[in-house]
Structure 1
Amino acid sequence: MGILHKSAVSLGFYNDDLDPSRISEILGAEPDVGVKKGDVWKTVGGVEKVAITGSWRIGSERRSPGDVDGQIQDIFGKLESDIGVWRQLSELYQGRVFCGLFLASGNEGIRLQPETVAAIGERSLLLDFDIYGAELPD
């Protein structure tokens, strides 16, 4: 297995009745994107969008080579550590860790440490991977 070229990781909570300021209060941090259903928000590229559901999202800097373990640890390290709080949030809102995996060749991969997998599971979060393949030459 080759080394992962680049990775992007974020944590998000989603629900139609989500109030981003409440999530910020509970987790002790401001999101990169916090929006109520129906409100307007801007993408990183500056495009305005209407939120189809409420969301609270915080991310880690992209890393090259990829470092999903480190990025997840960085995000969790900024937030409330009480696992009971996380479980309550996950009962109310759909919580997920999103991992964007960017490949430079056809034989790359990642390995998550048991501590990372346990930290995601004990918080009752989904683990979501998007894999972006290397562009093939013409």
Structure 2
Amino acid sequence: MATLDQCKAALRIFGDELIPEELSRLFDHFYTQGWVKGYEYSTSSGKVAVKKTGAWILEAEPTDSADFDGQISQLLGYIDVSLDDWALLAKRFEMDIFCGWFMRESNEGISVSSQTMRLLSERNIALSIDIYASSDDE
């Protein structure tokens, strides 16, 4: 089995009471994307839309390989707070690692280390995955 072609991961935290700047102060790290509930923005069609909840999102640096464990290590390495702080955050907000796994071939795979699974579990962070297969036209 071939290994996964590419991986993109982001730590996402959502909540109605979430204020991105407050989390940035706690984490001592700025977000890649963030907004408060009710934030208005223009869609690509020019319509005004409203965010239904607040968000703090930190994207991992792009890599040339599918180093999922490395991306998780990088993301969590930016945030030096105690497991007690993570537990409090989990009570207030929804948290996940959202990742896109991109295949070049029809059968590719990836292994997630037990250490990575432990790091996510200790912090009450869910793992959300979108898998993208290459099309026959490519």
Q: Same fold (TM over 0.5)?
A: yes
Following TM superposition, by how much is the alpha carbon of 1:127 offset from its aligned partner in structure 2, in angstroms?
0.5
Following TM superposition, by how much is the alpha carbon of 1:42 offset from its aligned partner in structure 2, in angstroms?
8.0
The match for 2:19 is 19
The match for 1:33 is 33
Query: Equivalents in 2 of 1:80, 1:49: separation in Å?
Result: 34
8 A Cα contact 1:7 1:65, kept in partner: yes
Normalised to the residue count of structure 1, the TM-score between the two structures is 0.90
Matched-pair identity in %: 29
Amino acid at match of 1:29: H
Query: Equivalents in 2 of 1:117, 1:61: separation in Å?
Result: 20
Following TM superposition, by how much is the alpha carbon of 1:49 offset from its aligned partner in structure 2, in angstroms?
5.4
Query: Equivalents in 2 of 1:74, 1:37: separation in Å?
Result: 28
Q: Deviations over 1:5-33 (max 9, x none)?
A: 01100001101111111111111111011
The match for 1:87 is 87
8 A Cα contact 1:38 1:50, kept in partner: yes
The match for 1:109 is 109
Amino acid at match of 1:25: R
State how 1:43-62 maps to structure 2 within 5 Å. Answer: 50-62=50-62
Query: Equivalents in 1 of 2:49, 2:60: separation in Å?
Result: 22
SS at match of 2:8: strand
Query: Equivalents in 1 of 2:23, 2:67: separation in Å?
Result: 26
C-alpha change, 1:108 and 1:125, in structure 2 (3 Å) is same
Moved more, 49-58 or 5-14: 49-58
Following TM superposition, by how much is the alpha carbon of 1:37 offset from its aligned partner in structure 2, in angstroms?
0.8
Query: Equivalents in 1 of 2:135, 2:68: separation in Å?
Result: 22
The match for 2:5 is 5
The match for 1:67 is 67
C-alpha change, 1:114 and 1:42, in structure 2 (3 Å) is farther
Q: Deviations over 1:48-84 (max 9, x none)?
A: 8532210000011232321110000001111124111
The match for 2:132 is 132
Amino acid at match of 1:60: A
Q: Please list every run of 5 or more consecutive structure 2 residues that lacks an aligned counterpart in the other structure.
A: none
